[in-house]
Amino acid sequence: MDAPTTPHHPERLIVVDALRGVAALMVLLSHLPEVSGLLLVLRPLQALGHTGVSLFLVLSGFSIHYRYAQRKAAATFDAEVFWRRRAWRLYPTYGAAVVATVMIVAAAGPWPAGISWPFSAEDEPWVILVLAQVTLVGANIVAVPFVGIAWSLALEVQLYAAYAVVIKHLRRIGVWRVVGFAFALAMAWRLAAQYVTPSVPVGQFLQDGSSTTKSQVLFAQLPARWFEWMLGVAVAELRWSRVGRSKSKAGASIAIVALVASGVVYRSPLGELRLNGNSYFASDIVLDPLFGVGYAALLVAAVGMSSASVVRLAVAIRPLAIVGMFSYSLYLFHPALLQLGTRIVPAQAPNIVREAVLTIVALAGAFLLFWLVERHFLSSRPPARSVAVAGSAEAGPPVIVPEPDPDR
């Protein structure tokens, strides 16, 4: 029988921060120039770096639901407080990243050939682009000109909206039923997307690297990615149901199997099929969800570790946890910083030097954004209103639950 775990072990959160650091570094690696020479061993990781978004989605669902997972009464969810907290946590740092990116573009001048920063991305009217850039709501539909990675933040905002609708009914319906529904929706949406797109989804390219804007848009929408986010919600529920050592070991085993299988089918797609005359691989349909299962299982393994195990690992994972601390700033700001870095590194510099300088510039610039802006919003709540959980006759006095931050 698993020994019960105490919910309020602050040291446990370091493993969640470390996983955020891993996710941010994966995305950063995927956006570096293609590695070669001594760094060639990193190429498989670089190819899979974009799956750091799946890990971010799982961690986001976990972090958002963490403070609510231990509550017995669904009525404790306050939609107004929830949205105030999300806006406080998300938008100021994002706005600062947009301003900083614009300043870099203005100061550095035109980017090298092949890198464009148009204010008419995808030929959309500039008014639409401005609205999408400022509000984030449509940034996974319209290709915004600055901080293009904001497509995932738009997806995040949409996931928040879905969560705000579902949370009050989550335990009545059952969290695993909602997870199952999200999986069925993802499969149906992805098949429908293949019906109307002439290429495989973004991230799972054909041998010639072909993809289309339409496929990128369709596979960046809530129905396609809700399953991964809901897996994080389910892990938060498990966390408060006393995840113990046996579940932690099971999670580690599932994570290894799922992530290895995901990597194999990514490298060697399976089941070439046609739908409405469009060619695709059957494995493409399940690849993102499969990575989500692997990362969710990894999270189960992490939060189920004993305190002693976490303490033993603390020294090894602390650097990753530090990166996880400013992972949101790194995620937002690294594309512009990498482009700035390309103007600093001499063209004749060895690849290993080039990659090192670009990485240092990205990490240093992102930490500066964190220090100047993001750290002031880590409380995840605006100071004007308390977010203590309302008590009840059954639940006892009010209690404030520590939330892993940031949730991206």
Provide the residue type at 292 as one letter: G
Q: How far apart are CA 2 and CA 7, in angstroms?
A: 14
For residues 153 and 136, the answer to whether their CB atoms sit within 8 Å is yes
Q: How far are the Cα atoms of 29, 55, 152, 281, 290 from residue 258, in angstroms, in the given order?
A: 22, 13, 23, 18, 6
Of the candidates 347, 340, 323, 339, the one whose C-alpha atom is nearest the C-alpha of residue 406 is 323
Q: Over the Cα atoms of the chain, what is R_g? A: 21
Helix axes 282-303, 175-196, angle to 10 degrees: 150
Beta strands in 57-163 (DSSP E): none
Q: What is the pLDDT of residues 245-267, one digit of tens each?
A: 567 788 889 999 999 999 888 88
Q: Is the pLDDT of residue 326 over 90?
A: yes
Looking at residue 405, what is its pLDDT?
44
For residues 331 and 27, the answer to whether their CB atoms sit within 8 Å is yes
* pTM of structure: 0.86
Q: How far apart are CA 331 and CA 295, in angstroms?
A: 18
Q: Is the pLDDT of residue 152 over 60?
A: yes
Looking at residue 5, what is its pLDDT?
37
Model confidence band, residue 108 (pLDDT cutoffs 50, 70, 90): confident
What percent of the chain is helix, strand and coil (3-state, nearest 5)? Answer: 70, 5, 30
Average pLDDT over residues 136-150: 84
